[in-house]
Each structure stands twice: as C-alpha cells, then as structure tokens.
Amino acid sequence: MNKLWGHFSTITAHKIKVGQLCFRCGLYKQGLLHDLSKYSWVEISAGVKYFQGNRSPIEKEKETIGYSLGWLHHKGRNKHHWEYWVDMGKDGMQGTAMPVNYVVEMFCDRVTATKIYQKDKYTDQAPYEYYLRGRHRYMMHPDTHQLLETMLKMLADTDLDTTIQYIRKEILKNQ
C-alpha cells in the first residue's frame, strides 16, 4: 500500500466515522463538515510524507522537523480542537471555554481516532486512558477539561450507546 493511498483512506475513514458518531449525537452539520481541511494541500502533503498507518503523521512530522505545518494548519481551522481556543489572556496564554457542541465533536474525534489507530486492540477505556496520559500538557479551560473527561470516563465505565444517550439528553439538551 503506498503512502498516498494509505493516508487518503485513513483520513477518509476517520472523517466518515466521526461524521457518523456526530450524527448519532445530533450534530449533523459538524458531522458533515468535520476535518475537511485534511484534504487541503498543506495537510495532505504532510500526511502523505509522514504516513505510518499506526499513528498520526503529525507526530512523526514533529519528531522529524520539530513542528508540523499540517497540524498548525489543521488546528487553526477546526474548532473541535482545544488548541483552536488557546489565546493570550491577561496572565499569558490560556485556554478559553469551548462551546459545548465542539467539545462533543472533540469527544467523537478522539474516540474515532483511537479506533482507527488501535484497530482490533481498541476498547472503550482506551480514549480515556489516552486522555489521562496527556491531560497535564493540555492548555484547556477547566470547564472544557471537565466536560471532555466526563464523556470519556462515562464511555470507559459503560459503553458508547449509553454515553451517546447521555450526550443527547444531558449535554446537548439545550443545543
């Protein structure tokens, strides 16, 4: 499998699966528009160059050149990434509270990315475990942290159907 086809099929499968999960949560527009920037030249060229198939090419690009042009482009155009919401405040750089619908899309994105990369090794605990390993590095607003962690912990403790039902009835009830 060549890198172009491997990357294209991975991002397309991811986009479709996140879209399906967003639809299940009631986020139809976000499901359709999710990650369209991944098909831009800057993101697809970096994705193909650093494609490995078992993890994001962004990580390999950062390891290789110290930063990722694809990631810088992506996070600045996709509101479901907490990095989009980092801004200069009176005390320096800080996370601002994300709108709830984008936190739910971030949940969908994280669950799907974990499934894509872990394949048969995926469990409903895996997205929460990944979050816990990295949370000390996130410059997320405390409310955003709490909401994302609540959804990921519920998934780890129950299952996806129960978590989606909770998201629809409790988290997005006023959306």
Per-residue pLDDT tens over the stretch 48-62: 999 998 888 999 999
Determine the distance from the C-alpha atom of residue 156 to the mean position of all C-alpha atoms in its chain, rounded to a whole number: 17
- The pLDDT > 70 percentage for the chain reads 99
Instruction: Tokens 């988290």: give the residue.
Output: 171
DSSP 158: S
**Reported pTM:** 0.93
What angle in degrees, to the nearest 10, is found between the helix axes of 126-134 and 142-157? Answer: 150
Instruction: Tokens 């976000």: give the residue.
Output: 30
Report the alpha-carbon distance of residue 28 to residue 151 in Å, rounded. Answer: 19
State phi, psi for 95 to the nearest 5 degrees: -80, 135
Angstrom CA distances, 11 to 4, 8, 55, 110, stand at 11, 5, 12, 13
Can you tell me whether residue 95 is helix, strand or coil? strand
Domain that holds residue 32: 3-171
Per-residue pLDDT tens over the stretch 67-97: 999 999 999 999 999 999 999 988 899 999 9
For 88: left if phi > 0, alpha if psi spans -120 to 50, otherwise beta; the answer is beta
If one counts the domains in the chain, the total is: 1
